[in-house]
Structure 1
Amino acid sequence: MELIKGRPADETGRLEKEIRVYDLLDKLGMEYYRTDHEPATTMEVCNDIDKILDTLICKNLFLCNRQKTNFYMLMMPGDKPFKTKDLSKQINSARLSFADESYMEEFLDITPGSVSIMGLMNDTDNHVQLLMDKEVLEGESLGCHPCINTSSLKLKTKEVMEKFLPAVHHEAVIVELPRYDISE
């Protein structure tokens, strides 16, 4: 695996939704680095990707309320544990759970294992509210998939907040999730 600036030179065999991500990032004038890899389905692969990107790789969780009327994408540091009670209080939504993958595909045009902030470009009706852990904003850059888990991107956090999110008509709600001692 290597880190390459910008989009792939040869886009043969790449999915349309991945190419749309590169098209949007280029249109917005955003700088990004990319690495291609086997599907990121194991922690070993993810750890290798982390080393190549040399940035915070975000864990992205697709959640909903019990009634399945409110949907959320939570971006948080990959090494931070997630407990629904910590988030529920902050967004006034009891009984959060993982949303069905059918909603993920319908709203974000992504499949399990590929959840990424880039999917918000496909959520033109704003069904999904972005929730971002405060720690994500502390890094100069962040890592995410371009809507497919066989590539990973390194983006400047400031550009994601100031260029990407306004372009896709989404705002981040900043939440603060605690870190727990191993003993908890």
Structure 2
Amino acid sequence: MFFVSEIMEKAPDSYKSHLQEMVYESLTKLQIPFERVNTDEAISMNDCIEINQKLDMKMVKTLFLCNSKKTEFYLFITTADKPFKAKDFSNTLGISRVSFAPAELMEHILGVKIGAATVFGVLMDKENLVQVVFDKDVLLEEWYGCSDGTTTGYMKVKTKLIFNNFLTYAKHIPTVIEM
């Protein structure tokens, strides 16, 4: 059985990564309330079902993408149930075809490993290499469910606070598309 802790409303006592520490420091500084749980390692969207139930929200799907030259990067945030079609994404943005960025680049640019992609990764993107792209359907949800930068920590935050407050603070102005 997949372990999901009780809900907590404060930062962990110790951090598993620099990014995770930055996440909680930023939320505290911005006075953005959150609920969080610790879990067994969650890698797939299927692992998120029990997390969703515990936190009473829907986890977003966060994809780290790049062009073929690996010079343009996109953090695409969509709903968990939508299949990703690179052709549709590229056509909607009017860019060359994208694919999943290599794990090493994701770790280098966003500070996360596979399965932990999160909007909070832009805190590590000091050079502003990454364009954040939201599927408009995510913005229709009251709650935003995502990783805290690890594969064992997940949180629930008001979507509007992520979109308006956090991303402004992180100096990443998102693009919104309809997929």
TM-score by length of 1: 0.90
1:57 maps to which of 36, 49, 59: 59
1:76 maps to which of 75, 78, 81: 78
* 1:155 CA displacement: 0.6
TM-score by length of 2: 0.93
Equivalent residue letter for 1:23: E
What does residue 141 of structure 2 align with? 139
What does residue 47 of structure 2 align with? 45
What does residue 106 of structure 1 align with? 108
Residues 1:162 and 2:168 aligned together: no
What does residue 121 of structure 1 align with? 123
The verdict on how the C-alpha distance between 1:44 and 1:69 changes in structure 2, with shifts beyond 3 A counting, is closer
What does residue 2 of structure 1 align with? 6
Equivalent residue letter for 1:114: A
Unaligned runs of 5+ in 1: 178-184
Equivalent residue letter for 1:38: D
Unaligned runs of 5+ in 2: none
What does residue 22 of structure 2 align with? 20
The verdict on how the C-alpha distance between 1:68 and 1:44 changes in structure 2, with shifts beyond 3 A counting, is closer
Aligned counterparts of 2:10 and 2:142: Cα–Cα separation in 1: 18
Contact preservation (8 Å) 1:38, 1:45:
no
Aligned counterparts of 2:134 and 2:44: Cα–Cα separation in 1: 23
What SS does the aligned partner of 1:131 have?
A: strand
Equivalent residue letter for 2:54: I
Equivalent residue letter for 2:58: L
Contact preservation (8 Å) 2:134, 2:177:
yes
* 1:44 CA displacement: 4.4
